[in-house]
Structure 1
Amino acid sequence: MRTRLSIKINSLLERYFPERRLFLRSDTDTRFIRLRPSTQLIGFAGSAAIVAWAIIATSVLLMDSIGAGNFRDQARRDHQAYERRLNELSSERDARTEEALAAQERFNAALSQISLMQSELLTSETRRRELETGIDVIQTTLRKTMKDRELARDQVATLTEGGDAATSGVTDNAALDFLTTALEATAQERDQVVADAQDALIKAEEMKSELQVMADKNDQIFRQLEEAMTVSVKPLDKMFRAAGMNPDRILNEVRKGYSGQGGPLMPLSFSTRGEAPSGETKRANQILKDMDSLNLYRIAAQKAPFASPVKSAFRFTSGFGRRWGRMHQGTDFAAAHGTPIYATADGVVIHAGWQSGYGKLVKIQHQFGIETRYAHQSKIRVKVGQRVSRGQRIGDMGNTGRSTGTHLHYEVRVGGKAVNPMIYIKAANDVF
């Protein structure tokens, strides 16, 4: 059975691959190699396989080259779009910085205007008190004058009656002259008292009008001050709350540690007779309270990290949160090697040197239990124990420690626990 099958297969192969002999001749001998149909088939199949593999490999390489070119073009386009986006973000950030500076200037101008208006308010209140005192004196004088006028009238009536009796019973000319002189003097005094009373009434009306004008002006000043306080204090309050900080606790802590940067403002007290404060006094005291809060907020804002550690053009490369299965406890800012790094709040340097993983690291301790960290620096420009201010340069951006490229790793820790630094940076966007 197998022999017949082999014969049939061999006969079929001989149609396409007839048996061939390959002669090999030497000087002394001649030999030949017989190429059977099966051997030729194997050789043909092997050659065809090699050619097919070469064609497929060439096609794959050609397609790979074409695909790689497309990918490179796409990558180039993506890179250009990314650079354009970075430039737009940089321009937008610069615009926001200019707006923040302008807002700060407007804030300082408003604070100066508030101080000026406060001085005008105190001057106006003092003038109003003087006018009230003057009106009281005029009214007292007027009452005394009215009494004197009535007394003079009574004296005139008495003298007139006495004059009639003396004329009927006495003919002495000296007595008559004395009576006439007394009557004339009394009449003149009465006329003068009436004139003084009328002048006093006119002055009182003028003072009342002036007092009303002053009261209207005071009310306008109060409204402007109250609006200025609302515009200034509310954004600061919102900023602290957005950062997860209790404003009341922060203000109390600043007030306890106050070191002469503006001071708490004392309430007004105009009355010396134990009277209850007037409505204007209450409004003035509320404004002074708001100004005190504004001043304390200003001090607190300098001591909390409401700023960006990088002012030059940069890009965010990694945010706060889990990354590759591990917790990334800060925010990364990428920029050119040597880019300046700035402190984000007033504080004291507690570490300035190498630390595993962080590379060259600066730690700054701030108030309210806040600590900031600035890692992977190429150069450190501060020392341990040094006091730094917001915006002070503390180092240069680098690639030290466990880092894959030049960038700043920036951390904010509250009570030793890492929090998202962008909470503070974004919270200050509407204020600074």
Structure 2
Amino acid sequence: MKVLVIGGGGREHALAWKIKQSPRVDEVFVAPGNAGTALDAVNVSIGANDIAELVKFAKTENIGLTVVGPEAPLALGIVDAFESEKLRVFGPTQVAAQLESSKAFCKNLLRQADVPTADFQVFRDPDDAMRFIKGRFPGERDRCPVVVKADGLAAGKGVIVCKRRNDALEAIDRISRRKEFGAAGMQMLIEERLDGQEASVLAITDGRTILPLPAAQDHKPAFDGDTGPNTGGMGAYSPTPIVDDALMAWIEEHVLVPTVHTMKRNRKPFRGVLYAGLMLTPQAGPKVLEYNCRFGDPECQPLLMRLKSDIMDILEGTVDQTLDQIDTPQWDPRPGICVVMASQGYPGDYEKGRPITGIDAADALEDVKVFHAGTRLDGDTIVNDGGRVLGVTALGDTISKAKLNAYTAVQKIRWAGAWCRKDISDKALQYLADQAKVL
């Protein structure tokens, strides 16, 4: 079988790498891909949002399965376009993808499904939003524990966490007046800020059967200690000890199942990856921060490093609505950690085209795989071509060992302006240490 993976980031490199391991797969194409997918698959120079050309390519090449990586083509209806041409495709339809493409749609569905989430208000007019903040927090120096979100897709950057009233007013101005996030800010949400540890729970569903994957923890803020601006994710690890078997069962019962059932009842059946971003609040338990409708990036990288089963069983079972018939996926018991190496300036402006060295040396280490995100080939030289450039991913017998393996590999890679967080997975180590004290 020929498989087409759509996208050009670290998630798509990990998917192509894992799909290629299936004995049922003859050839893997990635559109548009990056320098890493050019090594592990065949790149196709078609943009991820060029739906007409992608459909044409899939028909011409007799592609047996297309896997959609990023959120933008899902929001544009790529699955609907492929299905209308009788092409097999993994991912939710356009109406189902609103769980990610519209935060207001998501929050209203959570309310309808009685899934725990933060209180919220939706605004179109910035003046109304500012009046709401000033009325709720009348003093200029008042604490203002809210989160202001652009409603639409903003590459993971349209969420602004606020501490003071002026922070919230500035966030409203950035989103709705200055249009920093473009059309994503046509509508905005203001919701209560939740405190606690964040966790990512990804599940695969064919609309009837739900297959939860091991929980992961992402690191969104740019700098160590969860400081700095939000990014698309600076690293992740899986499994996370903060989600044990009992909590996972609770999340499945109270979050995943009611969401899938409500989508089906609303005639918007969901098939694909249902990714719940959760806040584990100390007082009220888990609450859903948001849903994504695709594999998380960088959570995808350690998850797929740990997956021992044939990923095609999961992907085809979802498309064919036979997930209840596949064998239970097997996972490497060792934890996996992904450290994102980024370009200087990210998540702001950064320079491209800087040569990268040391990737082969890092890849040669045991239990390490370097997944490319923002890279391209300049002749025979790999250069940076994005903000998040590489996802250095490693396994280890313990979280500490996996971290050591990942950062040992990071130290072998160089380009001008390269940087990364140094504390990926430290939350897990601290949690385990705290639990040991309790015991």
Q: State if a TM-score over 0.5 links the two structures.
A: no
Q: Which protein, 1 or 2, shows the higher relative CO under an 8 Å CA cutoff with sep ≥ 6?
A: 2
Q: Which has the higher helix share?
A: 1
Which has the greater radius of gyration?
1
**Which is richer in strand?**
2
TM-score by length of 1: 0.20
